Amino acid sequence: MIHMVACTVPYHELVAIADRLLDECGEDTGLLAENLDGLAPAVREELLVSDLFNTSISP
C-alpha cells in the first residue's frame, strides 16, 4: 500500500531552498549533508523525496 502525504512546504519554496543549498555547497556532499541536517525535519524529508536533487555528480 502506498501512503501519500501532502506537502507542507510550497514547491516554489523547496526549489529556493534546494537552489540555495546547491549554490552554497557545490559538489561537496558532506557539506550538503550537514546543511540538510540543519533543516526542519519536514522540510528535509520533502527535499529528499522531491526531484530537486536528481543531478549527476562527476567522479
The answer on pLDDT for 1 being more than 90 is: no
Asked whether residue 34 is domain-assigned, the answer is yes
Asked whether residue 1 is domain-assigned, the answer is no
Mean pLDDT computed over every residue of the chain: 84
Asked whether residue 2 is domain-assigned, the answer is no
Q: Which three cell numbers stand for residue 5?
A: 502525504
Q: What per-residue confidence (pLDDT) applies to 53?
A: 83
- The boundaries of the domain holding residue 30 are 11-49
DSSP state letter for 53: T
- Please give the average per-residue pLDDT across 40-51, as a whole number: 92
pLDDT band at residue 27 using 50, 70 and 90 as cut-offs: confident
Q: How many other CB atoms are there within 10 angstroms of residue 38's CB atom? A: 9
Q: How far apart are the first and last CA of the chain?
A: 37
pLDDT band at residue 3 using 50, 70 and 90 as cut-offs: very low
Structural domain total, the chain? 1
Asked whether residue 39 is domain-assigned, the answer is yes
Q: How many other CB atoms are there within 10 angstroms of residue 22's CB atom? A: 15
- Please give the average per-residue pLDDT across 13-25, as a whole number: 94
